[in-house]
Structure 1
Amino acid sequence: MAFTVVDPVAGTRLAEYPTMTADEVAAVVERADLAFRSWSRGASPGERAAPLARAAELLREHRDELADIAVREMGKRRDEAAMEVDWAVGHFAWAAENVDMLTADLPLQSEPGLRLVLRPAPLGAVLAIIPWNFPYLNVARIVAPNIAVGNTIMVKPAPQCPESAAAVERLLHEAGLPDGACTTLYAEVDQIPAVIADRRVVGVSVTGSRRAGRSVAETAGRHLTRVSLELGGSDPFLALSTHDMVGLVEQAFWMRNFNSGQVCSAAKRFIVMDDLYDEFLAGLVARMRACVTGVPDAEGVEVCGLSSQVAAERLEAQVDRAVEQGARVLCGGRRDGTFYEPTVLVDVAPGTEAYEEELFGPVAVVHRVGDEEAAIALANDTPYGLGARVFTTDPAQGERVADLLEAGMVAVNANVGGGPYIPFGGIKESGAGRIGGVVGTHEFVNLKVLTIAS
């Protein structure tokens, strides 16, 4: 078996990375544990920050080369691939610049004669299971802060994205990280339980599907291993009022279709007030029809094909079942190889599969509601709880609605953010825990209570 890079457009095999044997996987765990005990645990914050800062510089220097890899692996639009490298640079730079904050004591209420603090202490080797849709960003946002606080990382990439993972590992070593501090784990799914069961592995971070999250969480639970889960979403976009319908539709288009719609926190369900519905729907359908589709390097292209033939066929099957269950396709709805036309669905009823599932591609589901209460109820009527967006001309309404939405992240008249300082994550079946910021970084540290007599 091998991790294989397949050109999504041409379908040709471009590179193969052999899957590790059981002994090779065990050796990666050994190296990660050794690097923790011999370097990261005892290194000063500044000593850990230096290679992270240098890694940010190297990623920036190799921006075009790294973007080329992402285009080859998943057919990402070239400018979006370069943008993703920039985001990864930001995560490494932020971790380096804020290492003192991430490792600083947190004061606690104390009694007379005592000083109490929470002192973040590293735990050891962490396994990060990474998806394919953002191969650089998803690596950077778990690797950078964990190295900063003194953990070591084993990165298990998606099977179709081994080349990007190898490139990041190479640049991290060039930046000065010692052997074992960050290592790529080319392991099959059935090899992962043994890694989680190893007592030297102190935590597991999973970004992926609900099925993957449940499997990992079950294994981690048996061994009382810490786990952080980011498992996708079916984010609502609530259109409550607007002074600029053209602008609102344009935001809806890009919040659905960035990265060809393959974003866990993308807006996927558009919940529109009755007085806006007809104009919004007509505008979105027209914009989706006018979308420029094509290969990653084509000039002016807005949406490319999906990451693989399997992904495109899966989305096609979901839309076909939605239609069988009563939904209507107002535009799109057809597949050509890995390309799936930007699509608008209406009449997706409660109890149908499309109402419950995440549609991972350029498909927007639009609902009509009569009032604010109905909008909130529909937004929350999902097994997911990752992000949400509220658009309104009334700031008080925006915050009121945001408080009632069941999501880990809510934006009012804005997009859900993903910067390195933001604790990214959700609730319900979108997962548990956070990635990023101080909160996310502390998922895999021991917040040790120190009581010190004065």
Structure 2
Amino acid sequence: MSTTIDTKNPYNGDALKSYPLDSENAIQKKLDTAEATFKSWKTYDIEDRIDLLKNLADTLHQSKNRLSTLMTQEMGKPILESKAEIEKCIFLIDFYVKNSDQFLQDDLIETDAKESFISYDPLGCILAVMPWNFPFWQVMRFAIPTLTAGNVALLKHASNVTGCAVAIEKLFLEAGFPEGCFQTLITDHQSVESLIANPIVKAVSLTGSEKAGRKIAELAGKNLKPSLLELGGNNACIVLEDADLEKHIETMVKARMQNAGQSCIAAKRFIVVDRIYDEFLEKFTAQVKTLTSGDPMDEDTTLSCLAREDLAETLKEQIEKSVALGAQVAYGDQKDGAFYQPTILTEVTPEMPVFKEETFGPVAAIIKVETEDEAYEMASNSQFGLGTMVFTADHEAAIDRISDIEDGGFFINEMVKSDPRLPFGGTKISGYGRELSKEGMLAFVNTKTVYINH
């Protein structure tokens, strides 16, 4: 059994760093530190917490180039996308700097009492189990509202971005957060069960696969602890016959190919009305061909390798099984180590893996339908429920269809994306609970009724 986590660069295979796994005693010490810190941290005035958020934003800004390089080295994201991820984290912090006080204020409720209100008290130590695809953003969108609400956090990050996990803990310390407010655990997935069972841990947040979500939900339920799950997706992109392809085709390609397609909310199924199908396929393919593959440290690179070679193998299997069922390769489908060429599949039908499963890589499944009604029905034919995007000139008609889609998001003429100002999360096997906005700040609080009689 390995006693270290060893990270490597997926683009060139170079070894990066070796991290000793935390011992059981070390993990317990971090748990004890979290519990002790919570007792004081929960008493901080909101203004003091907001001042620390401002420090954190400054620290992130000053460290942007270094952290972006680390992210790119560990999981292969093009360097400009890494820098954009850090900038989005700063935007997130700025949102909570401006709004946390309002979000956490007591809500006065008029009743028969002399005074009655709802207060929002932090729960304590919250465990976060986070993925590698957005190593800083996924953690920060959990941590910023959770800590600002008065909780403390423990992070179990994906092993291939352990350097990012260590760097995030250092960021909080450098910004002046008390020791124990945010701690990284260098451990394997086997320890998650005992962590959730530990009485110091009060709740758990997971961003990850459906399989991981089912396990975490089972463990949280067994221990009667709240959980928030943001799981996989196979978002539909509906393209209606009045869609402005000249204006929106670049957005559609970005919705699939950003981060080499390694995103839960990427557009994975393009459902196109037949009257515009040929034009769409021509323009989509032409736009995909403009992507520049290469070294992720090169600022000209717009699409690089996947985060691990096994991910490319899984994607290849999904494509091969779909082709065996009748899908046609319209473009791409070449694998080289962890790199997978952008791929476009046509003649896709619902029984194929690229339709019904989550594909975590740069493959676009194109489905032709005859009518708008069929397009919405096809989009809803999914066990996932993160988000749907619709491209059309008739905004009002699309608005009338909002209730036809069960997903957590409905985007008209825009790719599905997370925004600190809006709640984010899914339905069905894409999980439950909401991050970001006010909902994200109240995800791990005790919503307490206070009633004062005459």
Q: Into which bin does the TM-score normalised by the smaller protein fall?
A: over 0.9
Structure 2 residue aligned with 1:384 = 384
Q: Does 1:48 align with 2:49?
A: yes
- Counterpart-to-counterpart distance in 2, 1:149 and 1:171: 19
Q: SS in structure 1 opposite 2:289?
A: helix
- Counterpart-to-counterpart distance in 2, 1:414 and 1:206: 26
Structure 1 residue aligned with 2:19 = 17
Structure 1 residue aligned with 2:34 = 32
Q: Does 1:325 align with 2:325?
A: yes
Q: Does 1:273 align with 2:273?
A: yes
Structure 2 residue aligned with 1:348 = 348
Q: Could you list the per-position Cα deviations for residues 82-124 of structure 1 after superposition, in whole angstroms to 9, with x for gaps in the alignment? A: 000011112223223322122111233x334443322111010
Shift of 1:11: 0.8
Moved more, 240-249 or 252-261: 240-249
Structure 2 residue aligned with 1:61 = 62
- Counterpart-to-counterpart distance in 1, 2:108 and 2:368: 49
- Counterpart-to-counterpart distance in 1, 2:202 and 2:193: 13
- Counterpart-to-counterpart distance in 1, 2:90 and 2:299: 26
Q: SS in structure 1 opposite 2:229?
A: strand
Amino acid in the other structure paired with 1:36: F
Q: Does 1:92 align with 2:93?
A: yes
- Counterpart-to-counterpart distance in 1, 2:95 and 2:162: 25
- Counterpart-to-counterpart distance in 2, 1:314 and 1:102: 42
Is the 8 Å Cα contact of residues 347 and 368 (structure 2) preserved in structure 1? no
Q: SS in structure 2 opposite 1:10?
A: coil
Amino acid in the other structure paired with 1:312: A
Structure 2 residue aligned with 1:402 = 402
- Counterpart-to-counterpart distance in 1, 2:153 and 2:328: 46
Structure 2 residue aligned with 1:421 = 421
Q: SS in structure 2 opposite 1:276?
A: helix
Q: SS in structure 2 opposite 1:443?
A: coil
- Counterpart-to-counterpart distance in 1, 2:291 and 2:101: 46
Is the 8 Å Cα contact of residues 7 and 13 (structure 1) preserved in structure 2? yes
- Counterpart-to-counterpart distance in 2, 1:319 and 1:289: 19
Structure 2 residue aligned with 1:123 = 123
- Counterpart-to-counterpart distance in 1, 2:45 and 2:375: 51
- Counterpart-to-counterpart distance in 2, 1:453 and 1:105: 17
Moved more, 407-416 or 359-368: 407-416
- Counterpart-to-counterpart distance in 2, 1:178 and 1:313: 43
Structure 2 residue aligned with 1:3 = 5
Structure 2 residue aligned with 1:73 = 74
- Counterpart-to-counterpart distance in 1, 2:180 and 2:390: 44
| 1:262-301 matches, cutoff 5 A | 262-301=262-301
Structure 2 residue aligned with 1:242 = 242
- Counterpart-to-counterpart distance in 1, 2:379 and 2:249: 19
Shift of 1:243: 5.6
Structure 1 residue aligned with 2:430 = 430
- Counterpart-to-counterpart distance in 2, 1:107 and 1:371: 50
RMSD (Å) for aligned C-alpha atoms: 1.4
Amino acid in the other structure paired with 2:352: T
Shift of 1:451: 1.5
Amino acid in the other structure paired with 1:331: Y
Q: Could you list the per-position Cα deviations for residues 56-94 of structure 1 after superposition, in whole angstroms to 9, with x for gaps in the alignment? A: 100001100000100110111011000000111122232
Q: SS in structure 1 opposite 2:398?
A: helix
Shift of 1:17: 1.2
Structure 2 residue aligned with 1:144 = 144
Q: SS in structure 2 opposite 1:98?
A: helix
| 1:137-286 matches, cutoff 5 A | 137-242=137-242, 244-286=244-286
- Counterpart-to-counterpart distance in 2, 1:291 and 1:176: 41
Q: Could you list the per-position Cα deviations for residues 127-166 of structure 1 after superposition, in whole angstroms to 9, with x for gaps in the alignment? A: 0111001111011111111111100000111100011111
Q: Does 1:132 align with 2:132?
A: yes
- Counterpart-to-counterpart distance in 2, 1:355 and 1:268: 8
Q: TM-score, normalised by structure 1?
A: 0.97
Moved more, 183-192 or 397-406: 397-406
Amino acid in the other structure paired with 2:177: L
CA 60–451 in structure 1, closer or farther in 2 if over 3 Å, else same: same
Q: TM-score, normalised by structure 2?
A: 0.97
Q: SS in structure 2 opposite 1:304?
A: coil
Shift of 1:358: 0.6
Shift of 1:382: 0.7
Moved more, 92-101 or 272-281: 92-101
Q: SS in structure 2 opposite 1:300?
A: coil
Is the 8 Å Cα contact of residues 107 and 118 (structure 1) preserved in structure 2? yes
Moved more, 83-92 or 111-120: 111-120
Q: Could you list the per-position Cα deviations for residues 260-302 of structure 1 after superposition, in whole angstroms to 9, with x for gaps in the alignment? A: 1111111111111121111101221222234221111335322
Is the 8 Å Cα contact of residues 20 and 186 (structure 1) preserved in structure 2? yes
Shift of 1:25: 1.4
Is the 8 Å Cα contact of residues 209 and 232 (structure 1) preserved in structure 2? yes
- Counterpart-to-counterpart distance in 2, 1:299 and 1:95: 31
Structure 1 residue aligned with 2:393 = 393
Is the 8 Å Cα contact of residues 79 and 299 (structure 2) preserved in structure 1? no
Q: SS in structure 2 opposite 1:293?
A: coil
- Counterpart-to-counterpart distance in 2, 1:84 and 1:57: 15
Shift of 1:247: 2.5
- Counterpart-to-counterpart distance in 2, 1:165 and 1:24: 16
Shift of 1:246: 2.4
Structure 1 residue aligned with 2:370 = 370
- Counterpart-to-counterpart distance in 2, 1:293 and 1:420: 30
Shift of 1:23: 1.7
Is the 8 Å Cα contact of residues 242 and 248 (structure 1) preserved in structure 2? no
Is the 8 Å Cα contact of residues 434 and 440 (structure 1) preserved in structure 2? yes
Q: SS in structure 1 opposite 2:160?
A: coil
Amino acid in the other structure paired with 2:45: S
Amino acid in the other structure paired with 2:353: E
Amino acid in the other structure paired with 2:391: F
Structure 2 residue aligned with 1:101 = 102
- Counterpart-to-counterpart distance in 2, 1:41 and 1:292: 48
